Amino acid sequence: MGERFKDPTKNFVCSFFNCKASFSKSWKLEAHYCKHTGLRPFACDSCDKSFCTRYQLTRHNLSHSGKKPYQCLVDGCSEGFTSTAGLKNHVERVHQHKETHYVCDHEGCLKAFHKNNQLKSHKCEHMNQLPFECQYEGCGKKYATSKKLQKHEKVHDGYPCAEEGCTFQGRTWTEYQAHRKAEHREILQCDSCTKVFHNAWFLKKHKLHVHMGVRRVFKCTKEGCLKTYSTHFNLQNHILSFHEGKRSFICSHDGCGKAFAMEESLKRHAVVHDPQKKKMQKAKKGQKKKKKPKANVSNASELSAQLKHLSLNQSRSQNVP
């Protein structure tokens, strides 16, 4: 028991059996209890989600309001986020090209995860600590976290459609999503053209780029480089190939051996070696609207001369007594 009180600032100790967690604030302990009980006392009024703390609920509500108070400060980037953690991950992943890996130190494992809580959940499986058990009759499956248990319970509950008046209930999440796309897909038409979108975000981007002429500019973050690009993909490709000299994706076609910084660039290049795909690509380009043929200058001048001659003959005949 003495090990629990190593840190004198952590006076709030979890009372669940075999749990040694302790906290410096009572609200942190209450939030921790949610992991054991599965209860989430702070419910969202706009959807069916619920949370362990009021802070989590407040942060979640931003997704309904559309507000993103944490803006990326890198030149040329206009991305916004609902939390500092989201902003930090974005900067590290997109602008600093960092990939954090949390590696399991269990003997013979070495599995890597992008998030620390994923690693913690994974370690529970090694230690056979699966405190969250499914209560459905005849099931009894156990999980390391309440979130995994809730996800599993959907197998028993199904996925009822949230649209008013719709009685559909999917057996799986994939089946539910397929139903939503087929029956309740949002249709948003641009008020300046005939383009139709199924997502408000894409419609907004379309209006900005096509009708308002606002073009996103991605500036190279390397010191002294003034290069700019219209897409983030092209910027990444530039940094990897030009500044870092990375060209890891090599064409395996006989006699080619071209190297690329991005896997997508290699896929695009592969069309060169596939006659069928190359033919299809040319056909798509050929489907562009053809320009109207210019009037034949020689024919037009000839017609004009004929009309002039006819008019002259008519005037002469009228003057004959």
Closest CA relative to residue 22, chosen from 40, 39, 35, 9: 9
What is the structure's pLDDT at 287?
Answer: 60
What is the structure's pLDDT at 144?
Answer: 78
Closest CA relative to residue 263, chosen from 222, 233, 221, 232: 233
What mean pLDDT value characterizes the chain? Answer: 76
| The one-letter amino acid at 154 | K
Express each pLDDT in 284-299 by its tens digit: 666 655 544 444 444 4
pLDDT > 90 fraction of the chain, expressed in percent and rounded: 0
Higher pLDDT residue, 299 or 23? Answer: 23
What is the structure's pLDDT at 298?
Answer: 44
Mean pLDDT of 128-134: 78
Express each pLDDT in 197-210 by its tens digit: 877 878 888 888 78
Higher pLDDT residue, 319 or 43? Answer: 43
Mean pLDDT of 8-23: 76
Closest CA relative to residue 205, chosen from 79, 101, 307: 79
What is the structure's pLDDT at 136?
Answer: 79
Mean pLDDT of 172-196: 85
Lowest mean pLDDT among 147-151, 162-166, 316-320: 316-320
SS (H, E, C) the chain: CHHHHCCCCCCEECCCCCCCCEECCHHHHHHHHHHHHCCCCEECCCCCCEECCHHHHHHHHHHHHCCCCEECCCCCCCCEECCHHHHHHHHHHHHCCCCCCEECCCCCCCCEECCHHHHHHHHHHHCCCCCEECCCCCCCCEECCHHHHHHHHHHHHCEECCCCCCCCEECCHHHHHHHHHHHCCCCEECCCCCCEECCHHHHHHHHHHHHCCCCCCEECCCCCCCCEECCHHHHHHHHHHHHCCCCCEECCCCCCCCEECCHHHHHHHHHHHCHHHHHHHHHHHHCCCCCCCCCCHHHHHHHHHHHHHHHHHHHHHHHCC
What is the structure's pLDDT at 302?
Answer: 55
Mean pLDDT of 168-180: 83
CB 31: neighbour CB atoms within 10 A?
20
pLDDT beyond 70 at 310: no
| Alpha carbons 124 and 117: distance in angstroms, whole number | 11
Token representation of residue 203: 């419609």
Mean pLDDT of 82-88: 82
| Alpha carbons 284 and 293: distance in angstroms, whole number | 21
Q: Domains of the chain by range and CATH?
A: 1-67 (3.30.160.60), 218-275 (3.30.160)
Q: Within 13 A of 165's CA, how many CA atoms are on the CB side?
A: 2
Express each pLDDT in 219-278 by its tens digit: 888 888 888 887 777 888 888 888 888 888 888 888 888 888 888 888 888 888 877 766
Tell the burial category of 143 from Cβ atoms under 10 Å away from its Cβ (0-12, 13-18, 19+): buried
